[in-house]
């Protein structure tokens, strides 16, 4: 699996993977839920890779993002992961009816046609024509003598010719990084909800935590713990995610795994003070509850308050 | 290694096929394999076969795994799309490509290391599913790229270059393909181009999973005394079951002069496989008898070659799945998306 993902990343093969995350590692808790595959998906395969993740909150969003993932895969020519979990994937949910916009068209991305090739356009499978890191491709069998290429998991130049020359390899790896940067503006942006009053505190969460968080925030408001909320919906993170952290003194990061995997991705992405990010972790295999979030944040919020008061 | 690049110019009288292409138009880049490698002869046979059946080079897709054999698709059909995938996993990539566009000819090139060890599961399942393809294993019994360790097809007791005997039983890919349900199975020898070219032509015309095991001696690591995959050993022990002549459907079939010894098998596309029987105890259209024929000869240390099994009325994966005749990658939004009305019905069913 990891080898294939590396191949798809390097040879730039559009592909969609739906990860219904369960309790790991190994067979772990195969009938229980977790959000513990974020890191293995984000950096899947040996060597340097970065992959696009979509983070749906419920079955309705899983439906929408799966369709979007197919378009993004073709547009970005790379694997796209839809990170659901067992709670979303196998439990029964109450969601709004699914809707489809009939005006919507599939996006097959940058594909050179027989006509394009015939008109003399230069075709290099790994040539960055538009400066966004995304090259053009052709479908097999398009043209008798133009547009064929031999792709592979080994390093090659912009015209898909095998090479082990250092600068050519680096050029390609840099372009792949540029493509990942382009992905930031194409993936679903985060959703921000402000607290009733201005606050220095925030919370970041994603996926199936959303419903519990919507409920928890009301209880926290009542306890006068005011938090601005940010639901991330994709990796790579939009710049506004890092801005959100920068504009708050303390940000709780709520996730359903042991090792704070979302926090790791946040710290890897932006220059933010790690001490600002306080993890709220739930990973016993059951879906996270509003009660857990309220209790854990109340405790950690209280500890912070009391520490500050002690300094005074 | 062959380092001298051949000039693009060719003799003006070089024969052209019905498409106006010469044999040179089916060549690829220059091989970087060892001089004398059996694999280069197989590439030459593929070039010859595609030239002779007038196949437009860009209508074939070539796929491979990892290994010496899997490097070869760059050495033939330079105008074809190619994909050198990961070790032992060519079959699933080929299956995907085939499902995306059923109009192309798919040629998978693999080796014994690639298909008989890490890729054994993939090998068996793409054959079981009847993916329409030509699957060639360039079988030399060793891992050449890593300097000559035994592969899973090395015969028990055969000697490595350093003189060590192989203690394990060999994996016979031909027998495995028969059991897995391949509808076309051939075995050949890289040193017998005439036989191999006919087998490749017939396999391309065949619908379904066509498998050809080609014994292809490794001149660097498995061509010594004590090896059962050396040129000398294979020549001495090669028992051809039949002599195949591939006849395209458009050609007129002449009356057989020797009906007792010649079988004509007509494939779904009208092509005829004319088989001159060389072994008395072999019926190439009977799977069970083909298995026992191969096992009997294996036990005697003979390498049977030729067209070992063929199912004339074969079907492929797409037939079995009832896939539309149009290539899936040509379908439009209107073909593929049932729209919001259909979704409303699904919603209603969940209320």
Domain range annotation of chain A: 191-311
For B193, other C-beta atoms within 10 Å of its C-beta total 16
pLDDT at B253: 55
CB contact under 8 Å between A99 and B340, yes or no, is: yes
Instruction: Give the full edge-to-edge strand order of the sheet including A201-205.
Output: A191-193, A228-231, A201-205, A250-255, A277-281
**Interfacial A residues in 154-193 facing B (CB < 8 Å):** 154, 162
B181 interfacial to chain A (CB closer than 8 Å): no
pLDDT surpasses 80 at B311? yes
Q: Is A128 helix (H, G, I), strand (E, B) or coil?
A: coil
Q: Which of B79, B83, B84, B27 is nearest to B58 (CA)?
A: B79
Handedness of CA B134, B115, A126, B28 (dihedral sign): negative
HSE of A176, CA atoms in CB hemisphere, 13 A: 24
pLDDT at B9: 74
Q: How far apart are the first and last CA of chain B?
A: 69
How do the residues of chain B divide into helix, strand and coil, expressed in percent and rounded to 5? Answer: 35, 20, 45
- Does B334 fall in a domain? no
- Does B331 fall in a domain? no
Mean pLDDT of chain B: 93
pLDDT surpasses 90 at A301? yes
Closest residue in A to B25 (Cα) is A145
pLDDT surpasses 70 at B34? yes
- Does B8 fall in a domain? no
H helix count then E strand count, chain A: 10, 11
- Select from A148, A152, A153 the Cβ nearest to the Cβ of B80: A148
Distances (CA, A) of A191 to B149, B200, B255: 57, 58, 78
Q: Provide, as residue numbers in chain A, all residues whose Cβ is less than 8 Å from the Cβ of B85.
A: 7, 152-153
Using a pLDDT cut of 70, give the percent of chain B over it.
95
Distances (CA, A) of B106 to B7, B52, B81, B111, B267: 29, 17, 10, 17, 18
pLDDT at A121: 93
pLDDT surpasses 70 at B260? no
Q: How far is B72 from chain A (nearest CA, A)?
A: 11
Q: How far is B62 from chain A (nearest CA, A)?
A: 9
What is the mean predicted confidence (pLDDT) over B308-329?
A: 96
pLDDT band at B2 (very low <50, low <70, confident <90, very high): very low
- Does B333 fall in a domain? no
- How confident is the model over A134-164, as pLDDT tens digits? 999 999 999 999 999 999 999 999 999 999 9
ipTM computed for the complex: 0.92
pLDDT at A302: 87
Residue B106 sits at the vertex; the CA angle it makes with B215 and B193, to the nearest 5 degrees, is 30
CB contact under 8 Å between B89 and A3, yes or no, is: yes
Q: Is A32 helix (H, G, I), strand (E, B) or coil?
A: strand
CATH no. for residue B108?
3.40.50.970
- How confident is the model over B185-196, as pLDDT tens digits? 999 999 999 999
- How confident is the model over A171-206, as pLDDT tens digits? 999 999 999 999 999 999 999 999 999 999 999 999
pTM: 0.94
Do the Cβ atoms of B261 and B283 come closer than 8 Å?
no
Q: Which of A277, A217, A288, A209 is nearest to A246 (CA)?
A: A277
Do the Cβ atoms of A261 and A255 come closer than 8 Å?
yes
Do the Cβ atoms of B109 and B63 come closer than 8 Å?
yes
- Does B312 fall in a domain? yes
B99 interfacial to chain A (CB closer than 8 Å): no
The number of distinct structural domains making up chain B is 1
- Does B335 fall in a domain? no
Q: Which of B21, B64, B86 to mutate to test the interface with A (most CBs of A within 10 A)?
A: B86
A1 interfacial to chain B (CB closer than 8 Å): no
Fold annotation for A191-311: Rossmann fold (3.40.50)
pLDDT surpasses 90 at B278? no
pLDDT at B258: 61
- Does B347 fall in a domain? no
d(CA A112, CA A8): 20
CB contact under 8 Å between A141 and B58, yes or no, is: yes
Q: Which of B66, B81, B145, B342 to mutate to test the interface with A (most CBs of A within 10 A)?
A: B81
Q: Return all residues near B210 (Cβ < 8 A) that are at least 6 apart.
A: B133, B134, B135, B182, B183, B184, B185, B186, B202, B203, B204
Q: How far apart are the first and last CA of chain A?
A: 55
Using a pLDDT cut of 90, give the percent of chain B over it.
86
- Does B1 fall in a domain? no
Q: Which of B182, B110, B118, B159 is nearest to B139 (CA)?
A: B110
Domain that includes residue B173, residue range: 23-322
- Select from A98, A106, A140 the Cβ nearest to the Cβ of B104: A140
What is the mean predicted confidence (pLDDT) over B199-207?
A: 98
- How confident is the model over A94-129, as pLDDT tens digits? 999 999 999 999 999 999 999 999 999 999 999 999
């Amino acid at each position: 699996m990891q080898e294939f993902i590396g191949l798809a990343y390097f040879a730039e093969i559009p592909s969609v993977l739906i990860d219904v995350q369960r309790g790991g590692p190994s067979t772990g808790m195969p009938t229980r839920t977790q959000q513990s595959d974020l890191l293995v998906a984000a950096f899947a395969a040996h060597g340097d890779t970065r992959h696009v993740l979509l983070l749906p909150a419920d079955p309705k969003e899983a439906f929408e993002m799966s369709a979007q993932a197919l378009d993004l895969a073709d547009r970005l020519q790379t694997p796209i992961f839809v990170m659901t979990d067992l709670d979303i994937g196998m439990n029964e949910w109450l969601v709004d009816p699914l809707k489809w916009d009939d005006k919507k068209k599939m996006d097959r991305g940058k594909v050179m046609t027989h006509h394009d090739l015939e008109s003399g356009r230069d075709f290099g499978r790994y040539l960055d024509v538009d400066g966004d890191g995304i090259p053009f491709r052709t479908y097999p069998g398009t043209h008798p003598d133009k547009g064929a290429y031999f792709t592979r998991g080994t390093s090659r130049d912009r015209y898909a010719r095998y090479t082990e020359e250092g600068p050519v390899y680096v050029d390609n790896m840099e372009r792949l990084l540029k493509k990942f940067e382009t992905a930031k503006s194409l993936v679903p942006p985060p959703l921000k909800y402000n607290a009733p009053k201005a606050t220095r505190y925030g919370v970041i969460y994603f996926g199936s935590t959303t419903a519990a968080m919507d409920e928890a925030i009301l209880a926290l408001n009542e306890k006068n713990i005011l938090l601005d909320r940010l639901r991330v919906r994709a990796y790579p993170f939009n710049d506004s995610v890092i801005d959100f952290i920068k504009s708050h003194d303390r940000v709780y990061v709520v996730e359903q795994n042991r090792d704070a995997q979302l926090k790791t991705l946040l710290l890897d992405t932006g220059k933010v003070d790690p001490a600002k990010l306080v993890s709220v972790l739930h990973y016993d295999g059951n879906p996270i509850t509003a009660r857990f979030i309220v209790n854990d944040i109340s405790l950690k919020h209280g500890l912070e308050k009391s520490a500050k008061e002690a300094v005074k | 290694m062959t380092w001298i690049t051949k000039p693009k110019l060719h003799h003006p009288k070089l024969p052209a096929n019905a498409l106006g292409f010469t044999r040179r138009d089916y060549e690829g880049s220059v091989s970087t394999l060892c001089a004398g490698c059996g694999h280069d002869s197989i590439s030459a046979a593929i070039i010859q076969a595609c030239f002779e059946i007038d196949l437009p080079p860009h209508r074939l897709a070539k796929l491979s795994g990892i290994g010496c054999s899997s490097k070869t698709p760059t050495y033939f059909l330079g105008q074809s799309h190619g994909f050198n995938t990961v070790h032992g996993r060519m079959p699933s990539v080929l299956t995907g490509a085939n499902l995306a566009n059923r109009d192309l000819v798919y040629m998978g090139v693999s080796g014994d290391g690639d298909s008989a060890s890490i890729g054994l599961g993939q090998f068996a399942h793409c054959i079981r599913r009847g993916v329409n393809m030509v699957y060639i294993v360039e079988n030399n019994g060793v891992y050449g790229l890593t300097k000559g360790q035994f592969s899973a097809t090395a015969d028990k007791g055969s000697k490595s270059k350093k003189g060590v005997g192989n203690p394990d039983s060999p994996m016979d890919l031909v027998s495995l393909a028969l059991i897995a349900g391949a509808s076309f199975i051939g075995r050949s020898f890289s040193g017998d181009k005439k036989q191999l070219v006919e087998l490749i032509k017939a396999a391309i015309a065949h619908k379904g999973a066509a498998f050809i095991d080609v014994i292809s001696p490794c001149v660097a690591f498995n061509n010594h005394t004590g090896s059962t995959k050396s040129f000398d050993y294979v020549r001495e022990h090669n028992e051809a079951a039949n002599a195949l002549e591939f006849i395209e459907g458009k050609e007129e079939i002449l009356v057989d002069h020797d009906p007792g010894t010649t079988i004509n098998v007509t494939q779904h596309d009208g092509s005829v496989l004319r088989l001159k029987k060389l072994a008395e105890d072999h019926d190439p259209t009977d799977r069970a008898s083909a298995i026992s024929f191969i096992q009997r000869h294996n036990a005697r240390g003979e390498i049977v070659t030729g067209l070992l099994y063929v199912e004339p009325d074969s079907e492929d994966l797409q037939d079995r799945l009832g896939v539309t005749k149009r290539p899936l990658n040509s379908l439009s939004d209107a073909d593929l998306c049932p729209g919001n009305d259909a979704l409303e019905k699904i919603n209603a069913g969940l209320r």
